[in-house]
Amino acid sequence: MKAVQISPKVYWVGAIDWNLRDFHGYATDRGTTYNAYLILGEKPTLIDTVKKAFYPEMLTRIQSVIDPQKIEIIISNHAEMDHSGALCQAVADMNPKEVYASAMGVKNLTAQLHPAFEIKTVKTGDKIDIGGDTLSFVEARMLHWPDSMLAYLEKEDILFTNDVFGMHLATSKLFDDENDEQIWIQEAKKYYANIVLPYSDIVTRFLGQVQQMGLSPKVIAPDHGFIWRKDPSKIVGLYAQFAAQKPTNKAVLVYDTMWGSTEKMAFAIADGLRQGGTTVQLMSMHTCHRSDVVTQLLDAGAILVGTPVLNSNIFPAMADVLCYLKGLKKKNLIGAAFGSYGWNGAPIDSVTKILEEMGIEIVSPSVKSLFVPDQPKLQECEDLGKLVNQKLTEKVK
Ligand code: FEO
């Protein structure tokens, strides 16, 4: 396990988590990396650490290029434990002269790690002389935690962005030009939808701020996935696009079913949508993961939610995905609810209320079927699909 050189003085010393399949509720089908970076200046500096269990891997990589006890400075750009989990052990082993974080970073690291060492505060515009080069800092509050911060290595022109511009993708190929674009675009989209989406307005402001500062780094080095050395503007451009949440003529139809009735309704709605030309993504929660639903919603313009009623309640799988989506606050959606019930249809109407609370423009009262939908009920569903198609077409033109 060797360090990988990414510029004359900078090495990647992170860890690859090939087996991670769940990141606090987000299905990470391709694993992830926890990137840490070592700057071999006159004052050797470590940018971020890794998840606690991966400390031996990081340490081995550091040892391949330097005695870890020569590290003088550690920067913690973000307090979440996939980057700070190994910080206490690193400080104990390396005994650096200084550890730095943002003010919120100091607060959050203290509350999580209860460290026995001092963490100094840096803020936007502050600079640290690391001997032969300078690190400057840009706070990125709520991208995606209050403590999030970026560090810029001036002479080497590398921006260390922590979670920002990252993706959950375990890869032994550490650079953008070595990875399959079709795969990484999908993973970048999934990462944005599941981690960054609620902070899209902040992303837009932040990208403007970075532009105003004249920051256009040669290399962007995030803490997940690979390093952008060939064309960092690609991921910056994608973030601007994702943050805009411009609706397209695409509807996500998410549902579950007990005895097939709600599914019959879903298929009829899909038919109505398709007849008008809307692209339909049907997602049964029997087979799809909540994190894939929000990924599909990122560029969609409509959501239709179908639930059966179980014990006078929303079906549990649907309550799960609705709770997840509510937190991620996707904007610019129209929608409606539908479903089958036996003797109490009220829970289907409560889905409409939840969609309203999420800021979704409701285009129709919920469509409810007593047990199995008959032909007139299926026609009602198809008409709902046609109505959503019509509204969506007006919205996106
Ligand atoms: Fe990769 Fe917010 O931690």
Q: What CATH number did the domain enclosing 328 receive? A: 3.40.50.360
- Tell me: do 257 and 210 sit in the same domain: no
Mean pLDDT computed over 175-202: 97
Of 219, 324, 293, nearest to 4 by C-alpha is 219
Cα 25 to ligand 1 centre (Å) = 13
Nearest CA to ligand 1 atom 2: 80
- Tell me: do 285 and 351 sit in the same domain: yes
The pLDDT assigned to 141 comes to 95
- Tell me: do 289 and 162 sit in the same domain: no
Q: Please give the Cα distance from 230 to 183 (Å, whole number).
A: 17
75, 45 contact by CB (below 8 A) = yes
Helices (H), 256-369: 261-275, 290-297, 316-328, 346-357
- Tell me: do 234 and 259 sit in the same domain: no
Q: What is the DSSP letter of 193?
A: I
Q: Please give the Cα distance from 231 to 257 (Å, whole number).
A: 45
In a domain, residue 151? The reply is yes
The pLDDT assigned to 214 comes to 83
Neighbours of 363 (CB within 10 A): 16
The pLDDT assigned to 210 comes to 86
In the chain, how many domains are there?
A: 2
Rg, C-alpha atoms of the chain: 24
Mean pLDDT computed over 87-104: 98
Q: Please give the Cα distance from 82 to 222 (Å, whole number).
A: 13
Neighbours of 380 (CB within 10 A): 20
Q: Would you call 181 exposed, middle or buried from its count of C-beta atoms within 10 A (0-12, 13-18, 19+)?
A: exposed
The pLDDT assigned to 189 comes to 98
Q: Which helix (H) or strand (E) holds 394?
A: helix 375-396
The residue out of 189, 219, 243 marking a domain boundary is: 243
pLDDT band at 211 (very low <50, low <70, confident <90, very high): confident
The residue out of 243, 277, 297 marking a domain boundary is: 243
SS3 of residue 20 by DSSP? coil
Distance of CA 392 to the CA centre of its chain: 26
- Tell me: do 358 and 261 sit in the same domain: yes
pLDDT band at 330 (very low <50, low <70, confident <90, very high): very high
Contacts of 311 (CB under 8 A, 6+ apart): none
Cα 359 to ligand 1 centre (Å) = 27
Question: In angstroms, how far apart are the furthest CA atoms of the chain?
Answer: 77
Q: Which two tokens stand for residue 301?
A: 């313009």
168 is catalytic: no
Domain with 287, as residue range(s), is 250-389
Q: Which two tokens stand for residue 74?
A: 């550690």
Vertex 342 angle, CA 340 and 343, to 5°? 125
Contacts of 99 (CB under 8 A, 6+ apart): 73, 74, 75, 76, 87, 91, 117, 118, 119, 120
Of 116, 107, 61, nearest to 89 by C-alpha is 116
Per-residue pLDDT at 119 exceeds 90? yes
- Tell me: do 128 and 83 sit in the same domain: yes
Among 144, 239, 256, 263, the active-site one is: 144
In a domain, residue 395? The reply is no
Among 17, 26, 34, 78, the active-site one is: 78
Among 17, 48, 80, 263, the active-site one is: 80
192 is catalytic: no
- Tell me: do 107 and 163 sit in the same domain: yes
286 is catalytic: no
320 is catalytic: no
Q: What share of the chain has pLDDT > 70, as a percent? A: 100
Q: Which helix (H) or strand (E) holds 395?
A: helix 375-396
Cα 123 to ligand 1 centre (Å) = 19
User: What distances in angstroms separate CA 197 from CA 69, 98, 242, one per listed residue?
Assistant: 40, 34, 8
Contacts of 300 (CB under 8 A, 6+ apart): 247, 248, 250, 251, 252, 281, 333
82 is catalytic: yes
The pLDDT assigned to 132 comes to 93
- Tell me: do 230 and 266 sit in the same domain: no
CATH assignment of the domain containing 148: 3.60.15.10
pLDDT band at 63 (very low <50, low <70, confident <90, very high): very high
The pLDDT assigned to 44 comes to 98
SS3 of residue 368 by DSSP? strand
Q: 43-52, 79-88, 206-215, 383-392: lowest mean pLDDT where?
A: 206-215
- Tell me: do 144 and 98 sit in the same domain: yes
Cα 310 to ligand 1 centre (Å) = 36
- Tell me: do 197 and 103 sit in the same domain: yes
Q: Please give the Cα distance from 354 to 221 (Å, whole number).
A: 39
Cα 239 to ligand 1 centre (Å) = 17
- Tell me: do 19 and 166 sit in the same domain: yes
Nearest CA to ligand 1 atom 1: 163
- Tell me: do 256 and 189 sit in the same domain: no
Nearest CA to ligand 1 atom 3: 80
SS3 of residue 1 by DSSP? coil
In a domain, residue 328? The reply is yes
**For 214-237, how does the pLDDT look when each residue is reduced to its tens digit (9 = 90+)?**
888 999 999 999 999 999 999 999
The pLDDT assigned to 212 comes to 85
Mean pLDDT computed over 182-211: 96
The overall average pLDDT reported for the chain is: 97
pLDDT band at 118 (very low <50, low <70, confident <90, very high): very high
User: CB within 6 Å of ligand 1 — which residues?
Assistant: 78, 80, 82-83, 144-145, 163, 223-224
In a domain, residue 8? The reply is yes
Mean pLDDT computed over 352-357: 98
Mean pLDDT computed over 241-248: 96
In a domain, residue 68? The reply is yes
83 is catalytic: no
Peptide bond into 144 cis (omega under 30): yes
Q: Would you call 376 exposed, middle or buried from its count of C-beta atoms within 10 A (0-12, 13-18, 19+)?
A: exposed
In a domain, residue 198? The reply is yes
Q: Which amino acid is at 2?
A: K
Contacts of 45 (CB under 8 A, 6+ apart): 38, 39, 71, 72, 73, 74, 75, 130, 135
The pLDDT assigned to 397 comes to 85
Per-residue pLDDT at 263 exceeds 90? yes
For the CA of 148, the nearest atom of ligand 1: 2
The pLDDT assigned to 213 comes to 84
191 is catalytic: yes
The residue out of 198, 225, 243 marking a domain boundary is: 243
In a domain, residue 36? The reply is yes
In a domain, residue 397? The reply is no
